[in-house]
Amino acid sequence: MKKITLLLFTAVCALAFAGCNDEDEPTTTVSLEIVSSDIGFEAPGGTGTISLNTTATAVEAVSDKAWLTIDSATPSGVTYTVGEHDNALQRSAKITITAMDQSRQVTILQNGTRFDISADPIELDPTGRTASTVAYDTSLDTPPQISIPEDAATWLSASAADGTISLTATLNYTGKRSTTITVTEGWKPVEIQVSQDMVSLVDKSSVVLDREAATVTVTATEYMEYVGADWSVSTDATWLTLTKGQSDSFTVKVEENTSGAQRTGTIDVKSSNGDVLCTVTVSQKIYSYEFFLGEWTMHYSDSDSGKATTLKVTLAANEDRTGYTASGLYYDIVLGYDDSGSTPKLTMLRQYITYNGTYYVYLCPWDAMSGYYTWGEGYGADLIYNMKESDQQLLFQDNGAWGDHAVNSFMIYAFKSMTTSSSTAAGSYARYPLITSFTR
């Protein structure tokens, strides 16, 4: 409590003498002087004293505000109590002191509540081992009140003391979570966003595999010990076989995917009482780089008769496994491999093939419907897998790079130099018009 003392001096009331006779009663006048007073208080409030000098044998004191109460009133002084002020604005109250026919007033002032705290978001320790703190400053003697939403109270606790709020969360292994707490001091509520990332109980939360059979090892992290030493694994996926040994890991044996569709299985990691601590998702494709190796049949139209015809084409792995060498055409060519999308595809693009001692040989995209061919870089077609196990096809589709023309065919073409142009073009070795698909 901060007090401001005011010294007030009042003149002693002059005695009034009036004419009298033997029948008049004598007149008595008292003096009332305020010697000093506590008149200023901070928001927490407190007690104050008004010192008096009076000839009266008794005095009365009255407050005009409920937040200021009179404790005692005697000829020597008045004591009073100022309550806590939880508003922002300054307030005032008047104490009226009366001694017989004399009265005096004292005005008491109280400052509003000051509360300063940062509203910046707070990121909590995912492990729950270390508390997060935020400093505050207040003019009240009491700490601020902290309100936590009911759904967050199960994992978040808070305390306030000595100008610091401490926030502690439990170990989070279920997923990122957040809430908004409200810190209130006096008149001023402040909302603060609180969030907590998760820790992983295992080193793999998801696994994506190609169609071939595989074995994967999943290992528990250091945080598993905080939720219990005994844990188990289970799954409903019949194509997954789980084995957990004495160590902090388990193996997942995955069968080859010949189901005809991509599939996903979930592994539950459970505590000793059966609660699911976390899950591991295993997804398996129906294709892989190796899946496209081997013999395919290319379907196209005969360049002379125009009738539908076929050609056996064999795909062999490239050394860097980014594509395939396709043999069976007039010259071997290279097909690219792209599994970045939801559907895998092979790419058949304009490319330099070889120098045969006489000519420079290129694979050139061709629009057989219009009669134009091109040697433009990046022009070509995609061979898109139809994702059908029982009817496997690579569907031929123009990649859209040639503008107004559509690539529906290819030619193996000879040029007189490495510079491809109409002036260096020598003629075609082979033509493959209107390609529709590769099947097997």
Q: What is the pLDDT of residues 161-191, one digit of tens each?
A: 999 999 999 999 989 999 999 999 988 899 9
Phi and psi (nearest 5°) for 24? -75, 145
Q: What mean pLDDT is predicted for residues 194-204?
A: 96
* 297: β partners: 312, 439
Q: What mean pLDDT is predicted for residues 336-356?
A: 96
Specify the CATH class of 5-110 in words.
mainly beta
Question: How many Cβ atoms are within 10 Å of 311's Cβ, its own excluded?
Answer: 15
H or E element: which one contains 338?
strand 333-338
Residue with the two structure tokens 């008491």: 108
Name the more confident of 260 and 424: 424
- For residue 3, pLDDT beyond 70: no
* Distance of alpha carbon 338 from alpha carbon 292, whole angstroms: 12
Domain boundaries, the chain: 5-110, 115-196, 206-284, 290-439
pLDDT digits (tens, 9 = 90+) for 97-133: 999 999 999 999 999 888 999 999 999 999 999 999 9
- For residue 6, pLDDT beyond 50: no
Q: What is the structure's pLDDT at 188?
A: 86
- For residue 244, pLDDT beyond 60: yes
Token representation of residue 289: 């780089």
Task: Work out the percent of the chain whose per-residue pLDDT is above 70.
Answer: 94
pLDDT digits (tens, 9 = 90+) for 9-46: 333 333 333 344 445 555 568 999 999 999 999 888 99
* Distance of alpha carbon 314 from alpha carbon 293, whole angstroms: 8
Composition of the chain by helix, strand, coil, percent to 5: 0, 50, 45
Q: What is the structure's pLDDT at 305?
A: 86
Q: What is the structure's pLDDT at 25?
A: 54
Q: Would you give the end-to-end CA distance of the chain in angstroms?
A: 92
CA-based diameter of the chain, in Å? 159
Q: What mean pLDDT is predicted for residues 129-157?
A: 94
Question: What DSSP state is assigned to residue 251?
Answer: E
Q: What mean pLDDT is predicted for residues 247-264?
A: 93
Q: What is the structure's pLDDT at 24?
A: 54
Question: What DSSP state is assigned to residue 220?
Answer: B
Q: What is the structure's pLDDT at 27?
A: 58
- For residue 298, pLDDT beyond 50: yes
* Distance of alpha carbon 206 from alpha carbon 124, whole angstroms: 25
* Distance of alpha carbon 171 from alpha carbon 421, whole angstroms: 68
Instruction: Report the Cα 20 to chain-centroid distance in Å.
Output: 95
Cβ atoms 202, 219 nearer than 8 A: yes
Radius of gyration of the chain (CA): 46
Closest CA to 112 of 85, 138, 137, 140: 85
Q: What is the mean pLDDT of the chain?
A: 92
* Distance of alpha carbon 258 from alpha carbon 250, whole angstroms: 25
Q: What mean pLDDT is predicted for residues 54-82?
A: 97
Q: Do domains 115-196 and 206-284 have the same CATH topology?
A: yes
Residue with the two structure tokens 């002379």: 304
Q: What is the structure's pLDDT at 16?
A: 35
CATH tag for 206-284 (out of 3.40.50.300, 3.40.50.150, 2.60.40.10, 1.10.3470.10): 2.60.40.10
Q: What is the structure's pLDDT at 149?
A: 97
H or E element: which one contains 34?
strand 32-38
Q: How confident is the model at residue 86 (pLDDT cuts 50, 70, 90)?
A: confident
Q: What mean pLDDT is predicted for residues 271-291?
A: 94
Q: How confident is the model at residue 87 (pLDDT cuts 50, 70, 90)?
A: confident
Cβ atoms 373, 363 nearer than 8 A: no
Which CATH architecture group holds 115-196?
Sandwich (2.60)
Q: How confident is the model at residue 139 (pLDDT cuts 50, 70, 90)?
A: confident
pLDDT digits (tens, 9 = 90+) for 384-436: 999 999 899 999 999 999 999 999 999 999 999 999 999 999 999 999 999 99
- For residue 281, pLDDT beyond 90: yes
Cβ atoms 290, 212 nearer than 8 A: yes
Token representation of residue 202: 């295992």
CA angle 214, 216, 220 (to 5 degrees): 170
